[in-house]
Amino acid sequence: MQIIVYGLGIIGASVAASLKAAGHTVRGMNRSRASIDYALEHGMIDAEASDFSGADVVFLALPPRVTMRVLDEGAFPDGCIVADICGIKAPLEKIVRSKPRAWRYVGTHPMAGKETSGIRSASADLFRGANFVLVRSEGSDDDALCTVRALAADMGFSRIVECIASEHDRMIALTSQLAHIVANAYVTSPLAAKCTGFTGGSFQDMTRVAPVDEDMWAELFALNAEPLEKELARLTARLEAFRGALCRADEGELRALMREGKACYAEFFRGK
């Protein structure tokens, strides 16, 4: 299968490398020359692509607004499958469905990554054992969905979840975007600069995703503002409940709040 990956950052280059390792022919496109050279030198792609001609499948691994522009204006071959890997789905799907397309769109979201970015953080096994979200809509092509599902398995994903765009955006507001906001806010404490020697696993888990690319994540937050704001308001209210119990030094109330959290955590693991 002839595959083009446009955008060779950590995720795009890992898509390219994992598909090439699985036996597919993969060409790469990128706005900077350095990433193309790195991908060729390290065997992540077979060749550079200057356009989308000859592609059976195109993966777009670009920032949200650039992805929207390319989806709207890109010269994709007729019948080609175009799959974005962006962290929001409803705004992109709206762009695609705004006029007839001769190519077939599939929204996806690889649920994997690192706190670092760029092609030097990419690897062919980044997705091994991870989750992959496949987005279906009324206009989805079943054969295209099956093809992308098979490619996700070739990349190493162990669980593939299918949903509609609005469900994806609601869930990602909680599982990804809110976590990044909390981590970023958490490290703004004046004590954080003085915490050497006082940290353990809980601090590291809470802060790992704090130093991410603010340009890309600000776009994701703004484009998914409504569901993200609802989750942030819910969390803020919950934290205020803890704050109130602390102000009253009410150990019984604190225990009750923590029991509720423990019950939710147990329910989460029962559903896994």
- Convert the pLDDT of each residue in 170-180 to its tens digit: 999 999 999 99
11-50 confidence digits (pLDDT tens): 999 999 999 999 999 999 999 999 999 999 999 999 999 9
- Contact 88/220 with Cβ under 8 angstroms? yes
What per-residue string of b and e applies to 121-158 under the rule 16 or more CB within 10 Å gives b? bbbbebbeebbbbbbebeebeeebbebbbebbebbbbe
Task: Look up residue 93 and give its two tokens.
Answer: 């799907």
64-75 confidence digits (pLDDT tens): 999 999 999 999
pLDDT-derived band at 144 (thresholds 50, 70, 90) equals very high
pLDDT for residue 268 is more than 90: no
Q: Which residues contact 169 (CB under 8 A, 6 or more apart)?
A: 88, 89, 90, 224, 227
Instruction: Measure the CA–CA gap between 13 and 27, rounded to whole angstroms.
Output: 11
pLDDT for residue 270 is more than 90: no
pLDDT for residue 267 is more than 90: no
Domains and CATH numbers, the chain: 2-164 (3.40.50.720), 168-270 (1.10.3660.10)
223-237 confidence digits (pLDDT tens): 999 999 999 999 999
pTM confidence score: 0.92
Radius of gyration of the chain (CA): 21
Instruction: Measure the CA–CA gap between 96 and 137, rounded to whole angstroms.
Output: 11
pLDDT for residue 269 is more than 90: no
The mean pLDDT value of the chain amounts to 95
- Amino acid (one-letter) located at 147: T
Model pLDDT, residue 115: 73
Q: What share of the chain is helix, strand, coil (3-state, %, to 5)?
A: 50, 15, 35
Q: Which residues contact 117 (CB under 8 A, 6 or more apart)?
A: 9, 10, 212, 213
Mean of pLDDT values over 119-125: 94
pLDDT-derived band at 121 (thresholds 50, 70, 90) equals very high
231-256 confidence digits (pLDDT tens): 999 999 999 999 999 999 999 999 99
Helix 225-247 / helix 178-186 crossing angle, nearest 10 deg: 50
Model pLDDT, residue 271: 63
